Amino acid sequence: MAFFYPSITSEDSNEPFELQVSRNQIAGHRAITVFGYNPDVDQTEVTVWPYPGIVSYPAVAAVVKVSSTSLLDTSDGTGARTVTIQGLDANYNEITEVVTMNGQTAVNTVNSYRRVNFASVTTVGSTLSAQGDIFFGIGTVTAGVPATVFNLIKFDYNNTVTGHYTVPAGHTAYLMQGNFSAGQDTGATGVRGRLLTIDATGIRRTAAVVTVNNASIEYPFEFPIAIPEKTDIEATATGQSSNNQASILYVMLLVKGAAAPAPGTPRI
C-alpha cells in the first residue's frame, strides 16, 4: 500500500498553495495550462494553433470524426494507435474518451462534443510518435483532414497545441498569467497577440492585447480575472507582415462552483 505524503511539515507549516493544488490536495481546485503555437502568422487574424484560420466551435454537440494524414496511425501501426480526447458535452460538462486510430479513415467518437479542449496520443507503435497530423472535426474527410476542424494534434507534438479553452459547466476559471511570443526569421515587424473571451452572447471581448517584435512578453494578472462557466477563451495573433511564428501560454486556476461574491455582498 502506497504511503501518502501530505504537504505539511511537523511544525504545521503549509507548502505553497500552488503546489497543493498540483498535488490534488485542495478540493475543487485544478491548475489548467493552455499552450498554443502557430508557425505561420500572416496579416489576417488567426488562432494560435498549427492550422490556418480561426478555430471552429460546434453550434451544438456533435459526434467528432478522428483521423490522421498518415496511414501509419492505426490500431497496429508504427505511429499513433490511440488518442485521448478531453472535451465538453451538450451541457458543457466534462467528458473524455479513448479513440482507436484507423489512419486516414475517420473514426467516430462515442460521445458528442460541444467543445474539444485537449487531446493527446495515448499509445504508439515503434516510432513512439504519431506519424501524421491527427484531426478532430466534422464533415467530409479528405486524406485525413475533415471539412471543419475543431482541434488537431500536429505531427510529432503528440498533444494539442491550440490556444483555446472552454470553461466547463459548474466551474469558474481564474486567469492568473500569460505569455505571448512572436517573431520571424528575417525582417523586423511586430505581431499583435490577443486573448479573447466569448460568452453565450457570441461577443468576442479582449482580455489582453500585446504587440511584440521578435520578443516575448509576460502579462501577469495580479488580480486574477474571473471567467464564468461555458465561456470560450481564445488566443489569436496578427502580423504586420507575413511568415511570423507565434506562441501563447496562459495559466488558470479552475475552481468548482460560481465566482465568489464581493466582500459585503449578501449571500442568498
**pLDDT by residue (tens digit) across 166-211?**
999 999 999 999 999 999 887 778 999 999 999 988 999 999 999 9
Q: Which residues contact 144 (CB under 8 A, 6 or more apart)?
A: 67, 68, 69, 70, 103, 104, 132, 133, 135
Rounded to whole angstroms, the Cα distance separating 52 from 215 reads 22
Tell me the one-letter amino acid at 96. Answer: T
Residue 267 lies in a domain: no
Q: Considering the domain boundaries, does residue 6 fall inside one?
A: no
Which of 118, 153, 188 is the endpoint of a domain?
Answer: 153
pTM across the whole model: 0.91
Same domain? 146 vs 209: no
- Give the pLDDT confidence of 207-229 residue by residue, as tens digits: 999 999 999 999 889 999 999 99
Residue ending a domain, among 101, 118, 153, is 153
11, pLDDT greater than 50: yes
- Are residues 50 and 170 located together in one domain of the fold? yes
Q: Three-class SS of residue 126? A: coil
The CATH number that applies at residue 184 is 2.60.120
Q: Looking at the domain assignment, is residue 12 inside a domain?
A: no
Q: Answer whether residue 86 is part of any domain.
A: yes
Same domain, 134 and 252: no
Are 48 and 71 found together in one domain? Answer: no
Domain containing 77: what range?
62-153
Domain count for the chain:
2
- pLDDT at position 268 is 41
